[in-house]
């Protein structure tokens, strides 16, 4: 597969959302269309529509004229996700996409990704440190330990207290989430509040 075709099919969202230039939100997300353009070709009306849809899906449409360095970390993260969606990939790789987001936007972004996975058959590989979000949204989980896969399978197969305690060297409780029925990880402090 050539580089241009690869760039059309695979998009990546880094957890580092810094930029060295003061581009507008619209310019940043339009960069996702570059693999679809010919050399020296300007964006078409269709490209602009795709970008506006991506901005809308990630709740940053109202920020399109703002400069990227004027945004909060969470807003920048949603802009970078919009850029990846504007690329119209078949494989989306995300590294901690919820790291800078408040809980409302975490759920909004992960709901969106789940919907795109089902509706558009978009393959998504995501790195998450929040085990409860991984449990709630992922069909398959690979629990990593020292750079290698420790356990891989469904959330129920992977997110056991034994596996988590072995990998993270901390005590946890794992119960079923009363809403989703999936594993829910509860941290157990080394010192219980109120103890001396």
pLDDT tens string, the chain, 196 residues long: the values are 888 888 889 999 988 766 667 899 999 999 999 888 878 778 889 999 999 999 999 999 999 999 998 998 889 999 999 999 999 999 999 999 998 889 999 999 999 999 999 999 999 999 999 999 999 999 999 999 999 999 999 999 999 999 999 999 999 999 999 999 999 999 988 876 666 6
CA 173 – CA 71 distance, rounded (Å) = 38
Contacts of 181 (CB under 8 A, 6+ apart): none
Please tell me the predicted confidence (pLDDT) of residue 25.
94
- State the DSSP code for 97: T
User: 3-127 adopts what CATH topology?
Assistant: Rossmann fold (3.40.50)
pLDDT of residue 22: 86
Instruction: Report the pLDDT value the prediction gives residue 182, as an integer from 0 to 100.
Output: 95
Q: Look at the chain and count its residues.
A: 196
Question: How far lies 72's CA from each of 66, 100, 136, 184, in Å?
Answer: 11, 9, 26, 30
Q: Rounded to whole angstroms, how far apart are CA atoms 184 and 182?
A: 6
Q: Where are the domains of the chain?
A: 3-127
Global confidence as pTM: 0.87
Task: Identify whether the C-beta of residue 140 lies closer than 8 Å to the C-beta of residue 152.
Answer: yes
Question: How far is the C-alpha of 136 from the C-alpha of 36, rounded, in Å?
Answer: 34
Would you say the C-alpha torsion 185, 191, 192, 193 has a positive or negative sign?
negative
């Amino acid at each position: 597969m050539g580089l241009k075709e690869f760039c059309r099919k695979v998009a990546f969202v880094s957890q580092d959302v810094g930029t060295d230039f003061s581009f507008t939100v619209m310019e940043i997300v339009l960069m996702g269309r570059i693999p679809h353009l010919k050399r020296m070709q300007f964006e078409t009306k269709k490209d602009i529509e795709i970008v506006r849809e991506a901005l809308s899906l990630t709740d940053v449409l109202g920020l399109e004229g703002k400069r990227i360095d004027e945004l909060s970390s969470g807003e920048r993260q949603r802009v970078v996700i919009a850029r990846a969606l504007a690329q119209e990939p078949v494989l989306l790789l995300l590294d901690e996409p919820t790291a800078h987001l408040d809980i409302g936007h975490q759920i909004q972004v992960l709901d969106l990704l789940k919907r795109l996975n089902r509706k558009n058959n978009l393959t998504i590989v995501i790195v998450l440190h929040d085990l409860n979000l991984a449990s709630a949204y992922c069909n398959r989980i690979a629990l990593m330990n020292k750079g290698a896969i420790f356990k891989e399978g469904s959330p129920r197969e992977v997110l056991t207290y034994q596996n988590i305690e072995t990998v993270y060297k901390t005590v946890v409780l794992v119960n079923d989430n009363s809403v989703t029925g999936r594993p829910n990880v509860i941290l157990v402090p080394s010192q219980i509040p109120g103890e001396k």
